[in-house]
Amino acid sequence: DAGVIQSPRHEVTEMGQEVTLRCKPISGHNSLFWYRQTMMRGLELLIYFNNNVPIDDSGMPEDRFSAKMPNASFSTLKIQPSEPRDSAVYFCASSFITGELFFGEGSRLTVL
């Protein structure tokens, strides 16, 4: 398997624009997690899905953030409208129930 695949790897956008980050989890995994990493706050769990159903979105910072998982092989994290403080590296990770967690390479977002 190719591992967790995220796109884009880098995104530079202007304040107010919509940003969509994409993730393809490892085949067979039934849990998917979105994390955000910054120097100041470290790794923060934004939302996670189990069997394509959002279980806990308490980490989503505000209504500007939304995430979907329409099927077992694809998830998106959308920010609309984006703000400079959203600049961070966004990671997607997947696992099978309580098993080992595998991370993608991350999407580095810069909002000007």
**Rounded to whole angstroms, what are the CA distances from 71 to 24, 30, 49?**
10, 10, 11
Q: How far is the CB of 111 from other proteins (least distance, A)?
A: 19
**Tally of CA atoms within 13 A in the half-sphere of 107 that contains its CB:** 25
| Distance, CA of 10 to CA of 89 (rounded, Å) | 9
Q: Is 90 in the site for other proteins (CB under 8 A)?
A: no
Of 2, 28, 71, 100, the one binding other proteins (CB under 8 A) is: 100
Q: Is 73 in the site for other proteins (CB under 8 A)?
A: no
Listed ranges 13-21, 61-69, 70-78, 97-105: which one lies at the site for other proteins (CB under 8 A): 97-105
Q: How far is the CB of 45 from other proteins (least distance, A)?
A: 6
**DSSP bridge partners of 66:** 78
